[in-house]
Amino acid sequence: MFKTALAGTAETVTAHLEKVLSGYEGELGAAMRYACGGGKRLRAFLVLESARLHGVAEAPALDAAAAIEALHAYSLVHDDMPCMDDDDLRRGLPTVHVKWDEAMAVLTGDALQSLAFELVAGLDLPAERRLALMQGLARAGGGQGMVLGQVQDIAAESASVPLTLDQITRLQALKTGALFDWSATAGAVMAGADPAPLSTYASAFGLAFQIADDILDVEGDEAATGKRVGKDEAAGKATFVSLMGLEPARSEAGRLVSLACDALAPYGEAAENLRQAARFVISRQS
Amino acid sequence: MFKTALAGTAETVTAHLEKVLSGYEGELGAAMRYACGGGKRLRAFLVLESARLHGVAEAPALDAAAAIEALHAYSLVHDDMPCMDDDDLRRGLPTVHVKWDEAMAVLTGDALQSLAFELVAGLDLPAERRLALMQGLARAGGGQGMVLGQVQDIAAESASVPLTLDQITRLQALKTGALFDWSATAGAVMAGADPAPLSTYASAFGLAFQIADDILDVEGDEAATGKRVGKDEAAGKATFVSLMGLEPARSEAGRLVSLACDALAPYGEAAENLRQAARFVISRQS
């Protein structure tokens, strides 16, 4: 069962993150641990499955999984701030700037970004492979990846002309796709293998994930998702749902999931967990 | 002349940063370039002098210098935000959140942190040395270094009991000392040489620099410093000056500069630029 496998991963990764974060003192340490709590750990799951497919040892796989979750947590803490998405609820709990304050939210995010790079720099792997992962993470997470996607997303909200489907697809590829790609290909990079099939999988999966997110914002339940819903529509924001309509968006997500699963053919049955992960995202309620 | 040497470094590093940042598109790219403009480039100067002392090639030295300035710029952009130091002026120009907005300040800082790591990961050096620099940078800049110092600094402002001299010395070592250390030792690490003398130099220099900063906040001129002065006293903040008095602080800074200069004895005359840099900080007007 995929949900059991994902829950198992979440538990392992959360425990590992807590261990890693135990060396961080004071309120900053507390806020970093709080920000890294909970979550589906989908990116960590991709890292660990991708590592398993390539026979990578558990220690570096787990550190890389913790790194991507720390990076993801940093982006959420900053995104939730009043000057950005202004969310007061995340994973069913008050966001960092609500529980502490905005200064702590800025600094907690900053420290978690540093931590992500520190973890990857310290992986128990040949130096060249660590560096390939570092450069990939900096590119995917930085001003030519995720952060650029964020800037474009914010700009789109105040633009007089809504984004087209092409623009929103490119924006999503930057904002969430690049880190999905890093996660799913991490195992291949760690093993020095060809990352191409996993990269194709990740692109299709990432896009399906974002479409599903847009659908959840329309159809979702606040109690189940643990975050505010209906925000996109209230903000008059162009989404896959507003541009395609609900049913066509659902069917496009389905098509992308098939495409993602097909890309894993070279791995045969061994990649079944990754296929289930892709199918899961379009059926999830949270 | 040290001031001429520093100005030359500033020009070279600024040109290199502009080249590095030319690949960043849109408003984010513009804000990143703006945030990286100006500045004394003291950290870059330390990197380049330290590299020169160890015969490191120019290309990796310049990239490492750009990396530390990008990291420094990120910390300034975030520090200047209303929820932190709330500064509207930096290097004589409106701060990023004033010229753009707070969301752009958060994201510009985030992208500059990523860039710093990307530059170090890509240095034209043996992989093991790049990784040593990466780990050092993540430690010095993260939640056990600079960011922790920031958190402690903010906490001190609202604490009922002012910090002691020991506490403020430790805070400073975290907040600015760790990155001074990284900068001054970078050349030794790049060359695989012993970083100990440069590390001693950097500790004393960093502390003298902070004391000089506190003196400038009391005595400085807004037009010359390009930033608001008198903020520490207005905030009722404990500083080296408030704890020691103005003249004892000045004499302690002098003692530390001598100590910094003495630590460079193994390098002989070749380290004269670094000695002048240390002497400069306690005489500067900005």
What are the tens digits of pLDDT across the range A253-275? 999 999 999 999 999 999 999 99
CA distance B279 to B276: 5
pLDDT given at position B175: 92
How far does the CA of residue A80 sit from the closest CA of chain B (Å)?
11
A130 falls in which pLDDT band (50, 70, 90)? very high
The sign one gets for the Cα dihedral B46, B50, B51, B52 is: positive
Q: Which of residues 107-126 of B touch A (CB under 8 A)?
A: 107, 109-115, 117-118, 121-122
Any A CB within 8 A of B134 CB:
yes
| Structural domain contains residue B217 | yes
How far does the CA of residue A114 sit from the closest CA of chain B (Å)?
5
Q: Which of residues 20-39 of B touch A (CB under 8 A)?
A: 23-29, 32
In this complex, do B138 and A144 lie within 8 Å of one another by their Cβ atoms? no
Taking Cα atoms as reference points, which of A104, A133, A103, A105 lies closest to residue A118? A133
pLDDT digits (tens, 9 = 90+) for B93-124: 999 999 999 999 999 999 999 999 999 999 99
Do the Cβ atoms of A206 and A176 come closer than 8 Å?
yes
Residues in chain B with CB shorter than 8 Å from the CB of A106 are 78, 81, 83-84, 106, 109
For range B212-217, the mean pLDDT:
89
pLDDT given at position B227: 62
For testing contact with chain A, the best of B20, B95, B96, B107 (most A CBs within 10 A): B107
- Domain holding A57, by residue range, is 2-281
CA distance A30 to B266: 43
Lowest mean pLDDT among A81-85, A235-239, B204-208: A235-239
For testing contact with chain B, the best of A106, A123, A128, A175 (most B CBs within 10 A): A106
CA distance A79 to A81: 6
In this complex, do B155 and A27 lie within 8 Å of one another by their Cβ atoms? yes
In this structure, are strands B89-90 and B93-94 parallel, antiparallel, or unpaired? antiparallel
A127, A152, A154: residue with CB nearest B127: A127
The ipTM value here is 0.93
Q: How many CA atoms lie within 13 A of A37 on its CB side?
A: 14
Is the pLDDT at A286 greater than 60? The verdict is: no
| Structural domain contains residue A110 | yes
For range B37-43, the mean pLDDT:
91
CA distance B165 to B154: 16
| Cα–Cα separations (whole angstroms), residue A128 to B71, B76, B114, B156 | 24, 32, 19, 43
| Structural domain contains residue A108 | yes
Beta bridge partners of A93: A90
A221 falls in which pLDDT band (50, 70, 90)? low
Quote the percentage of chain B above a pLDDT of 90: 81
Lowest mean pLDDT among A98-102, B96-100, B214-218: B214-218
Any A CB within 8 A of B154 CB:
yes
Beta bridge partners of B89: B94
pLDDT given at position A38: 84
**How many structural domains compose chain B?**
1
| Structural domain contains residue A178 | yes
Long-range contacts of A94-99 (CB under 8 A, 24+ apart): A96/A31, A96/A34, A96/A35, A99/A31, A99/A34
| Structural domain contains residue A40 | yes
How far does the CA of residue A56 sit from the closest CA of chain B (Å)?
20
H or E element at residue B105: helix B102-121
pLDDT given at position A238: 83
CA distance B223 to B286: 9
Give Dmax (Cα) for chain B: 51
pLDDT given at position A281: 82
Beta bridge partners of B27: none
The CATH number covering residue B122 comes to: 1.10.600.10
How far does the CA of residue B16 sit from the closest CA of chain A (Å)?
17
Q: Is A269 exposed, middle or buried (0-12, 13-18, 19+ CB in 10 A)?
A: exposed
pLDDT given at position A257: 96
pLDDT digits (tens, 9 = 90+) for A136-184: 999 999 999 999 999 999 998 888 888 999 999 999 999 999 999 999 9
Any A CB within 8 A of B155 CB:
yes
For range A54-59, the mean pLDDT:
97
| Structural domain contains residue A286 | no
Which chain A residue has its CA at the smallest distance from B107's CA?
A147
Beta bridge partners of B94: B89
Please give the mean pLDDT across all residues of chain B: 93
For range A239-251, the mean pLDDT:
93
| Structural domain contains residue B286 | no
pLDDT given at position B226: 64
| Structural domain contains residue B106 | yes
| Cα–Cα separations (whole angstroms), residue A181 to A47, A166, A199, A266 | 10, 19, 6, 17
